[in-house]
């Protein structure tokens, strides 16, 4: 099976399925193509599918190795398949979620319950696995989110997406490294990307509450998912030009246990 996984260590992409190639950010796509056409067959596979399954497997492994795992969970289009696989794994393998705590990365302010990230997580994960309400955490429901995370022992694994402007959770461009859970104004790029869900810009929320960069970087492990052509440019920028607060995802290069799953 092809494992198109780039594990990023500092600013270097390591391609763990090949022993003798370490590609710099300037050439990761070329490297992947070269390998696919050379020693391996060019496998026309749905990478998003495979990578989503891989992310679900990593979460399941984390829960098996530490039953009281604390997860930071994303919303959006990107992780939908990952949650499907996680539900499947839970059913097939009897994954025990009873001691797991889930912390939503972010939440809209001033929106309906129907559009909330809490509802998203209920629909995509919590309700499907019978996840206890007491273990569901949301930054809009807690004033001291960072303190609550710390009281639980800190995040073990945070799963992230990336916005077209490089945001992680809702840390929009310009967010400093030293930032904790806070209310923010949504960037226009983010609002535009979200607007179809709300039926237009006018109805799209302008405020949200989000874990900060420091909250995320304090997680013991981070997995970022980035799928699709439209994310390629920002993923490249985030991991090739050093740290730039205008591209919040670039702060992730400071983390020692970061895995980027990208197609
Ligand atoms: P998306 O959002 O998965 O809907 O593209 C990702 C994000 O904004 O983090």
* CA pair distance 209, 261, nearest whole angstrom: 26
Per-residue model confidence as pLDDT tens digits over 109-122: 989 999 999 999 99
Domain boundaries, the chain: 1-45, 46-262
Residue with tokens 């799963």: 159
At 46, the pLDDT band (50, 70, 90 cuts) reads confident
**Whether the predicted pLDDT of 51 surpasses 90:** yes
Lowest mean pLDDT among 21-30, 53-62, 113-122, 214-223: 21-30
**Does 143 qualify as catalytic in the annotation?**
no
Q: Specify whether the CB–CB gap between 175 and 138 falls below 8 A.
A: no
Distance, C-alpha 252 to centroid of its chain: 11
Query: Which atom of ligand 1 is the closest one to the Cα of 76?
Result: 4
Alpha helix segments (H runs only) across the chain:
28-37, 47-65, 80-93, 117-121, 127-129, 145-151, 188-198, 213-217, 229-240
Q: Which CATH number among 3.30.565.10, 3.20.20.370, 3.90.180.10, 3.40.50.1360 corresponds to the domain 46-262?
A: 3.40.50.1360
Spell out which residues line ligand 1, taking CB within 6 angstroms: 76-78, 161-163
What percent of the chain lies above the pLDDT cut of 70? 83
Q: Which of 54, 156, 172, 263 is catalytic?
A: 172
* CA pair distance 250, 254, nearest whole angstrom: 8
Q: Specify whether the CB–CB gap between 204 and 239 falls below 8 A.
A: no
| Probe target for ligand 1 pocket from 48, 52, 72, 75, with the most ligand atoms within 8 Å of CB | 75
Tokens, residue 245: 């607060």
Which pTM value belongs to this model?
0.84
State the average pLDDT over residues 116-144.
97
Distance, C-alpha 15 to centroid of its chain: 20
Residue 60 confidence (pLDDT): 98
Alpha carbon of 177 to ligand 1 centroid (Å): 21
Alpha carbon of 163 to ligand 1 centroid (Å): 5
Per-residue model confidence as pLDDT tens digits over 151-203: 999 999 999 999 999 999 999 999 999 999 999 999 999 999 999 999 999 99
**Whether the predicted pLDDT of 35 surpasses 90:** no
Alpha carbon of 37 to ligand 1 centroid (Å): 31
Q: Round to the nearest angstrom and report the end-to-end CA distance of the chain.
A: 15
**Whether the predicted pLDDT of 20 surpasses 60:** no
**Does 172 qualify as catalytic in the annotation?**
yes
CA angle 120, 213, 154 (to 5 degrees): 75
């Amino acid at each position: 099976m092809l494992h198109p996984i780039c594990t990023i260590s500092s600013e270097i992409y390591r391609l763990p399925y090949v022993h003798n190639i370490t590609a710099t950010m300037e050439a990761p796509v070329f490297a992947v193509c070269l390998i696919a056409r050379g020693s391996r067959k060019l496998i026309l596979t749905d990478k998003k599918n495979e990578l989503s399954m891989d992310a679900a497997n990593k979460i399941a492994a984390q829960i098996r190795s530490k039953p009281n795992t604390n997860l930071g969970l994303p919303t959006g289009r990107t992780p939908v398949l990952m949650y499907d696989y996680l539900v499947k794994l839970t059913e097939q393998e009897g994954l025990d979620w009873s001691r797991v705590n889930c912390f939503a990365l972010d939440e809209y302010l001033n929106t309906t319950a129907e559009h909330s990230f809490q509802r998203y997580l209920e629909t995509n994960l919590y309700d499907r696995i019978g996840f206890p309400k007491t273990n569901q955490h949301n930054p809009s429901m807690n004033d001291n989110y960072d303190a609550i995370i710390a009281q639980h022992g800190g995040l073990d694994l945070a799963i992230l997406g990336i916005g077209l402007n490089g945001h992680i959770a809702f840390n929009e461009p310009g967010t400093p490294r030293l930032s904790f859970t806070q209310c923010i104004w949504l960037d226009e790029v983010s609002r535009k990307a979200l607007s179809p869900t709300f039926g237009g810009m006018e109805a799209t929320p302008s405020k949200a509450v989000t874990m900060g960069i420091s909250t995320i970087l304090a997680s013991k492990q981070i997995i970022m998912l980035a799928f699709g052509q439209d994310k390629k440019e920002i993923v490249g920028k985030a991991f090739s030009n050093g740290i730039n607060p205008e591209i919040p995802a670039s702060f992730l290069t400071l983390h020692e246990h970061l895995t980027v799953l990208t197609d």
